[in-house]
Amino acid sequence: MNQKTLLALAKKHGTPLFVVDHDELRKNYALFRKHFPRVQIYYAVKVNSDPAIVKTFYELGGSFDVASMQEFHTVHENIAKLPAKQRQDFIWDKIIYANPIKPVETLEELDRYKPLVTYDNHEEVKKIAKHAPHAGLALRLRVPNTGSMVELSSKFGALPGEAVELIAYAHEHGLTVEGLSFHVGSQCTNPENYIQAIHLCAGIFAEAKSRGFNLKLLDIGGGFPAAYDASVPKFGVLARKINHEIDRLFPKEIEILAEPGRFLVASAGTAISKIIGKAVRNEKLCYYVNDGVYHTYSGVIFDHCTYHLKSFKRGATQLCAVFGPTCDALDTISLAEQLPDLELGDYLYSENIGAYSAASSTHFNGFPPAKVVHVNR
């Protein structure tokens, strides 16, 4: 989005402001479909659960990965008025509850919807059998997360060696395991993570079949990287490597799912803030803005992400620090930004901030989250 448009939006709506460009969402969705024609896209709602974003992906024919009942209901709002059978078909075909650990209360509520859910341990099987016996299951595997920005394997995933036994255990409890799922870690720039995981799954499919369990689907999870900078591999190159292994190891009748989130929404979000303070500390120019790591820039803390700030004004630049508005020293957006000499009331903005930003914004210190404005809906 061009500077003129962003500046006009900031002046019209005030700051802090979070701008979502729905044309960018559509472009990213189309790009993923182009490079993964065999894969059914399940948008990872946790990345940005704004109902308007969910609606755009729904209108594009998308499916959804949810990890809480709130996320489930955000998606369900789009199908609430459909006929009962059509609504149920959508839930079964287009929603996966991809949180391997679920409270009893959640399972009891989920059961009437007959969804597909993930699991990775014996206790979860017993819970599901008792409280959500109508659910279909996908076994979540622990796979390599080497080189991913956010590692997930320490918290979730069954060991590959125990996979078939866990499938059998679920069947013994009257449940049906539809397939396998894995996650290579968020912002994965190492294609070997996917390759190794796909190979592991192919072996488990074969072993399961030898035991009489015919698996029908493979969920290759998320982790597809956003192009934050030039170090991120070209998406087409990553896709070719993954597609080659999927087509080589899995026949066409096996359904392939993926849960992209960051890839779809990162570039669609722009944050605009206003300079509310200015000082020189340790011979470095410091700017204080009305957004920070407890708000739109929460990804600095929670997502190990770096967001660069840009000025709407030109001029000679110098190394600056940029801090958020709260009283906490942790509220540091950056200690190394190249910015010109700016005045109180001037604006800064950050691009590619649509993922894991507004979604984890808080009300810390009494400062509310940024106002959200949607364009090109």
Cβ–Cβ < 8 Å for 104, 131: yes
Q: Which fold has domain 3-18+267-375?
A: Lyase, Ornithine Decarboxylase; Chain A, domain 1 (2.40.37)
- Which residue is it, tokens 């955000």? 74
User: Greater confidence, 153 or 250?
Assistant: 250
Q: Are strands 186-188 and 255-258 parallel, antiparallel or unpaired?
A: unpaired
Task: Measure the CA–CA gap between 341 and 156, rounded to whole angstroms.
Answer: 47
User: In Å, what is the CA distance from 62 to each residue of 55, 102, 225?
Assistant: 9, 24, 19
Residues with a known catalytic role: 327
pLDDT single digits (tens) 16-27 = 999 999 999 999
pTM: 0.94
Between CA 146 and CA 192 the distance in angstroms is 9
Mean pLDDT of all residues in 220-249: 89
Task: Dig out the tokens for 136 from the structure.
Answer: 């279909």
For residue 337, the one-letter residue type is: E
Res. 28: pLDDT tops 90: yes
- 22-265: CATH topology: TIM Barrel (3.20.20)
**pLDDT at residue 143, rounded to an integer:** 86
3-state secondary structure of 357: coil
pLDDT bracket for residue 154 (50, 70, 90):
low
Question: Three-state DSSP class for 77?
Answer: coil
Q: Find out whether 337 and 297 touch, Cβ atoms under 8 Å.
A: no
Query: What mean pLDDT is predicted for residues 287-314?
Result: 94
Q: Where are the domains of the chain?
A: 3-18+267-375, 22-265
Helix axes 235-249, 191-210, angle to 10 degrees: 10
Question: Do 3-18+267-375 and 22-265 agree at the fold level?
Answer: no
